Structure 1
């Protein structure tokens, strides 16, 4: 795939959470290919080391910071370590997250708590932790939060997941407003279904994945778009475009949309 060049990425240190696979892995590779320095965060040391080796074989540079769990204490310790070791960090991409699709009747509250910890609270803690660092420099900094179209267009069996992503989108919009006079850019990336291992956990019987397979986004395409937007004044990235159009219509005509698209919404 042809690399879309973003010269602003060159020699910039950019943290990516959930970097060991899927979208995060592709973003890390794309940043390295453009001369940036991805700082890789994930729970699997083995997968991070494999990715680091791949990046270095291709003449890229990266750093890895494994984390055992995305708990408040572990994240606080990791942020302190990064701040001590890295003189200047330029960007943060909050990508770590997971989903579980269940009806509310069958929902496990412990699963919901974990989704909120990883999908929302961890991202908020990373953003808050690095915010003073970003604001103290005159050069451009960037926080990108990988959210979901579920934040805008919730469907059956996504109660816990959609609620967590809705919360993260709300946080992102507030962070953008509070820092609008600074050199920090804040971007949300709102995605439809992506062809990654996400569905191994979210959709264990594979039914939803099978139903939407032809619509699934490729992580490489997402990575290209995200990295191309780094250090530009991009408010949102919405993919695919037709799902974003659907979310706009849903906000305007929710009852009508739920009635018209019932069969589509029920594909989980």
Structure 2
């Protein structure tokens, strides 16, 4: 059943050139929303735009955006507002990870992950908060990770960025609740996308978790179904989130029992 709340609404999606972001774009358009797609791969965005406009009677605009370039973020969002009006839903999906042990990961990669996963997300969010507060309407959806709830070996930096996203989201959720603006965090486990072509170049992690990987289309549909509702979190898969809850309650026990499995990256 279509999400009637989205008809003719404007949804902005960062990191929309592939994977989960691309699937969120298709699902949003299928539900009657006008979508604005942001990413660095403008050629890929143009292809998605063509496919959306051919299959759905909605407007689709694309813009080149490197979310780590904060000056560029401001200019792109200003242009969107001028051309499309107010943004109803922002999906902060842009992000990446590199799985290495903490003592080997380079400062360049550390800075890069924080610039994109944390500071880029905050920069995009800051652009939409004033208009949403003024209008007393809107929804910010931040794609975090189960890694933000339970860190494991070889993901120290990536997990740290996602912990930051959850902390930021939890804070602004309370701030924006006074203005009827919703904030949702999405905390998935591993998703079957090209994320791991960068994160796991050895292929070891993918080989070990392949059978547990989430379908990006199904997760995207779940996210889109929640748009413009006061949904606090989306956690998937449920069994992995249960593990995160148990970890919060009994961290020492989980680290001891799960040590062998955690190192399978």
TM-score of the alignment, normalized to the shorter chain, above 0.5: yes
Partner Cα separation in structure 1 for residue 181 and residue 229 of structure 2: 10
Match of 1:8 among 5, 13, 32: 5
Specify the alignment match of 1:34 in structure 2: 31
Go from structure 1 to structure 2 and tell me whether the alpha carbon gap of 1:201 and 1:259 turns closer, same or farther (over 3 Å shift). Answer: same
Report the aligned-residue RMSD.
1.0
What is the aligned length?
A: 264
What's the offset of the Cα at 1:235?
0.3
Paired residue for 2:54? 57
Please list, as runs of the form range in 1=range in 2, the aligned pairs for 1:149-188 lying within 5 A after superposition: 149-188=146-185
Aligned counterparts of 2:31 and 2:97: Cα–Cα separation in 1: 31
Structure-2 separation of matches of 1:240 and 1:160: 22
- 4+ aligned runs moved over 6 Å, structure 1: none
Which residue number in structure 2 is paired with residue 148 of structure 1? Answer: 145
> Cα deviation per residue 1:82-141 (whole Å; 9 max; x = unaligned)?
122222210100000000000011111110101001101011111111101111114x31
SS at 2:126's partner residue? helix
TM-score between the two structures when normalised by the length of structure 2: 0.97
1:112 aligned to 2:106?
no
**Structure 1 60/241 Cα, relative in aligned 2: closer, same or farther at 3 Å?**
same
> 2:17–2:39: 8 Å Cα contact kept in structure 1?
yes
Gaps of 5+ in 2: none
Matches for 1:42-81 after TM superposition, within 5 Å: 42-61=39-58, 62-68=60-66, 70-81=68-79
Residue 86 of structure 2 is matched in structure 1 by 88
Map residues 110-259 of structure 1 onto 2, 5 A cutoff. 110-138=108-136, 140-259=137-256
Contact map agreement 2:67 2:124 (CA 8 A) in 1: no
Following TM superposition, by how much is the alpha carbon of 1:68 offset from its aligned partner in structure 2, in angstroms? 4.8
Give the alignment's TM-score, normalised by structure 1.
0.96
CA–CA distance in structure 2, aligned partners of residues 128 and 147 of structure 1: 17
Contact 2:16–2:93, Cα closer than 8 Å, also in 1: yes
